[in-house]
Structure 1
Amino acid sequence: MTEIYRVSSPSNIAFLKYWGKKDPLLQWPASDSLSMSLNTLATKTTAYIHDAADHLFQFQGESLTRDHKSFHKVFKHLDYLSQTHGFTEKLAFSSSNSFPTGAGVASSASGLSALTLSAIACWTHSASFDELEKNGFSREHIAHLSRIGSGSAGRSLFGGYVHWQAGTHADKQKIIPLYSASHWNLHDTVALFSHDEKSKSSTAAHSDAWSSPLFSPRIAGAPERLQAMLKALYHRDMASLGPLLETEALDMHAVMMTTRPPQHYLTTESTEFLAAFRRARQDGVFEAYFTIDAGPNIHIIHEASQTPALHNWLKEFYPNLSLLSDKVGEGPSLERGMI
């Protein structure tokens, strides 16, 4: 019999965006970020120790190797974990997403957090977060290890609402859970304008941010936007939070479109949708607001009471549009089994 460790780790949607790095190697962000961990939009990963010369990684049923262009960071991260903590056993993984990979639904956040958590649990034979902590790996420590693999992955180690503090130096970063999911039952309806992977990955695009003339003003204004969002989140004030979400998302995309070379993630369809969406809200059809990560797909943030009106509008005017429906979640899960 072989121990197997099963992890489900959520994607997260950033309210205050993580874009641009002060130090790419140490994953030191240019500014703070604030996010909501999701519930069912997640990566499920299983891991077990196996006797082989290298790690095995299977994604969505396909076996992948170190030289795969989209998954080389998986093996690089496993090497980092092994070398920094003295783990020598090779692991076999099977992983899958409940949403399209690389299309702006933070697949690297859920994927690298699930990979890190399952690997550490397997290497330390830990069946729970309590056992992990007893073995020297607190949730905070695992979050920071996940962050090395993909910056936003650190936020996915916690449920509810999470603040990633950039700190005054790379080693002063903190990832802090602010509120549990029960604080505010916000929902996220994702309008999928593309199921394809992005033309340029977020990792590659981060380094271009500094070339935009809009980036320095963006960083200078980040503390004020953070405080405004924290206040709205504390008071569960959608009328205040919503416009902040939209301004923040468009501000980030303005930076992307003015880098050298420029990067356009939004499509004509998604841009036209945003205009129609805002008109419908102004007409009183629903109270909901959009945010957008690095991709063409639109995240619509709303309270549960707005779901029927929002979804009816989407079905009436965009009947062929694929939707993903989720809400704030409690964070990752971990269990041990036998095969």
Structure 2
Amino acid sequence: MTAPNFNNYIAATSAPSNIAIVKYWGKKGIQEPVNPSISFTLSKSITKTSISYSQSDRDLSIDFLFEGKSKEAFIPKLKTLRERLINHLPFLKSGSLKIESSNTFPHSSGIASSASSMASIARALYNIQIQIDPDVTANDKQAFISEMARLGSGSACRSTMPGWVLWGETQVLSKSHNKYGISINTYIHPMFNDLQDTILVIRKGAKSVSSSIGHQLMENHPYRDGRIKQANKNTELLLEALKNGDFEAFAKVSEEEALSLHGLMMSSSPAYTLLAPESLRAIKRIIKFREHHHIPLTFTLDAGPNIHLIYPKSQSKIVLPFIEEHLRVLCDNEEVIFDEISLQ
């Protein structure tokens, strides 16, 4: 009897984090959104992933290292991802998988690491599959990888492509889909193609409530239906603002979405307050500065206290001194991260 011919395969990839302007909050089925969301991917906040896979006839084993250290707590998430992907990637049935991951940005700093992590893992797994069997390819590679990333972390589907991405069905765009993100870069006014995203790290450390729990709280939230209606309307308004180069309309949606997200958390059961006193001070200073100087400047937040300050690159000369003089002092250990949109 001839012994099976087992081989080893390696894939190294990377993927950026993204920041949502219209928020994904609440899901159905397996990681499908109850409302559309729109984000842009970041340039410098990247997860790098290397995967080595060895074939064998044993059930799949998984090792995960983050920045050189074993992270057993991440293994259950990877096992869940494997179960969801096994029909798409047949090699995941057996063998051994070693995943090594690292970030270019600080952990627990207000940058969505789950999005960039799962997006980079999805890319690497796809690359291994086509090494093993080049005939197993998708008709739409971009959509396929985005869908695989979504099965690991919903917002990860928006981190598999550059620039502006829409995820979730909306009547405004017929090609929109709940299973994967789509690029909307062709709809975007040049004003929004050089946005700066300066992250004010108000509080470092893990969030007091995970995004997964936050999504679960939306299932029976008293304002659930109103939130879905709001997000759909804001998706339409944001697409129009992005197309027309209307920063004022963009800012209105961005801030309403950010504060609505925190309002939903504060009115859920159990309730969570994720904003810090310094978050509110920073927001007041940002609005006052914008009104005084009449410049395009806005902010958003994810489910945490840290603030993403968003403005066109042309405004850097006036905004950067403001950050140094009035906002940095509000940050944990005065930490500020300077990033920007990535279109490549």
Query: Do both share a fold (TM > 0.5)?
Result: yes
Which band: TM-score by shorter chain?
Answer: 0.7 to 0.9
Structure 2: gaps (5+ residues)? 1-6, 172-176
Structure 2 equivalent of residue 90 of structure 1: 96
- The whole-number CA distance in structure 1 between the counterparts of 2:123 and 2:180 is 18
Q: 1:91 to 1:71 in 2, by over 3 A?
A: closer
**Is the contact made by 2:110 and 2:199 (CA closer than 8 Å) also made in structure 1?**
no
Give the one of 273, 284, 287 matched to 1:278: 287
- The whole-number CA distance in structure 2 between the counterparts of 1:116 and 1:242 is 32
The answer to whether residue 163 in structure 2 is matched with residue 160 in structure 1 is: yes
- The whole-number CA distance in structure 1 between the counterparts of 2:221 and 2:178 is 27
> Alpha-carbon deviation of 1:135?
6.3
Give the one of 314, 328, 331 matched to 2:341: 328
Structure 2 equivalent of residue 59 of structure 1: 66
Per-residue Cα deviation, 1:232-275 (whole angstroms, up to 9, x for no partner): 11122212211210011111110111000012211111122111
**Structure with higher RCO (Cα < 8 A, 6+ apart):** 1
Per-residue Cα deviation, 1:33-91 (whole angstroms, up to 9, x for no partner): 011011111111111223686122110211123xx1x5521232134323543213322
- The whole-number CA distance in structure 1 between the counterparts of 2:239 and 2:273 is 29
TM-score normalised by length of structure 2? 0.85
**Is the contact made by 2:150 and 2:179 (CA closer than 8 Å) also made in structure 1?**
no
Q: 1:222 to 1:136 in 2, by over 3 A?
A: closer
Structure 1: gaps (5+ residues)? 332-339
Q: 1:176 to 1:142 in 2, by over 3 A?
A: same
Q: 1:7 to 1:63 in 2, by over 3 A?
A: same
**Is the contact made by 1:132 and 1:138 (CA closer than 8 Å) also made in structure 2?**
no
Q: Which amino acid aligns with 1:64?
A: K
Alignment of 1:126-275 (within 5 A): 134=137, 138-166=141-169, 173-179=179-185, 183=190, 184-275=193-284
Structure 1 equivalent of residue 121 of structure 2: 115
Q: Which amino acid aligns with 1:38?
A: L
Structure 1 equivalent of residue 324 of structure 2: 315
Alignment of 1:1-20 (within 5 A): 3-20=9-26
**Is the contact made by 2:8 and 2:55 (CA closer than 8 Å) also made in structure 1?**
no
Instruction: Please say which structure displays the higher CA radius of gyration.
Output: 2
> Alpha-carbon deviation of 1:199?
1.6
Q: Which amino acid aligns with 2:115?
A: A
Superposition CA RMSD, Å = 2.6
Count of residue pairs the alignment pairs up? 321
Structure 1 equivalent of residue 28 of structure 2: 22
> Alpha-carbon deviation of 1:103?
4.5
